[in-house]
A = this chain, B = another copy of it.
Amino acid sequence: MTGRLAVVGLGPGDACYLTPEAQEALAGADTLYGYGPYLDRVPARAGQNRHPSDNREERARAAAALRHAAQGASVAVVSGGDPGVFAMAAAVCEEIEAGPEAWRTLDLAIVPGITAMLAVAARIGAPLGHDFCALSLSDNLKPWELVERRLDAAASAGFVIALYNPVSRARPWQLGTAIERLRRHLPQSTPVIFGRAVGRPDECVSVATLEAADAQIADMATLVIVGSRETRVVTRPGRPPLVYTPRAVAEVSA
């Protein structure tokens, strides 16, 4: 009897983002593991067990799911957005590398999903229309000095920057400090997008200039996109503005 582990991306929240592949992986699992609010998004099915856990317990959750799958069960670990972007897939790989040899022979499937930056970008236009990077502002797992070095490198080389994990209760100052730092590199008029809870009832997407951007409006459910020098805002009568980064760069201006 061979177990199976699927690491499944739910997308940003609404079922309209859930791919058929993800639906099938969830339907085929005996047992689901995940952060409680993500599990709550998956419709209940008779006979399917659920093991909710807290947000910061990724490695323990991954190990529990692997142990269960190694006993022959069909297990799914659910992840918001895409499991490969600041989410559960890396935690599962870490546990497989550190764990018993038998975990390496498990049938492992990673099922991609719409990650937050794609959903936020789609709502506002095409800010990721040219070269961009994705950077976690959490300094739980890396030194803040490295975050700053990456902000400097990305902004000065002209990448649009998607900021994941901008704030949490335990990390109140990081986003403000990052915005302050980006002001050294980018024009004050650079568009900054705050995308909160896209696809959920409390969705809110707004645009500010880098000069006026206020870190206080972001919370744990927010994804922030900071434009490059090329990023443009198109006003629309009676509609929200479009923000996009053109496909062409005429000269090396970054």
Contact = CB atoms under 8 A, between A and B. Distances in A.
Interface of A: 11, 14-21, 24, 58, 82-86, 89-94, 96-97, 101, 104-105, 108, 110-115, 118-119, 121-123, 125-136, 141-143, 145-146, 149-150, 152-154, 156-159, 232, 234-239, 242, 244-249, 251-252, 254
A244 B90 contact: yes
B134 A244 contact: no
A146 to B, nearest CB: 5
A144 B47 CA distance: 57
A208 B91 CA distance: 23
A150 B141 contact: no
Contacts of A129: 84-86, 89-90, 93
A66 B161 CA distance: 29
A236 B114 CA distance: 28
A131 to B, nearest CB: 5
Contacts of A96: 234, 242
Nearest to A151: B157
Given A83-B122, A105-B238, A154-B154, 11 more contacts: A16-B19, A84-B126, A85-B118, A85-B128, A90-B245, A90-B247, A92-B126, A93-B126, A93-B129, A131-B133, A150-B159
Given A84-B126, A133-B154, A121 B114 contact: no
A187 B202 CA distance: 46
A120 to B, nearest CB: 9
A249 B93 contact: no
Given A129-B86, A141-B248, A244-B89, A239 B105 contact: yes
Which of A82, A84, A90, A135 gathers the greatest number of chain B CB atoms within 10 Å? A84
A44 B245 CA distance: 33
A66 to B, nearest CB: 13
A159 B133 contact: yes
Contact of A157 (B110, B149, B249): B149
Contacts of A235: 104
Nearest to A16: B21
A238 B102 CA distance: 12
Contacts of A101: 237
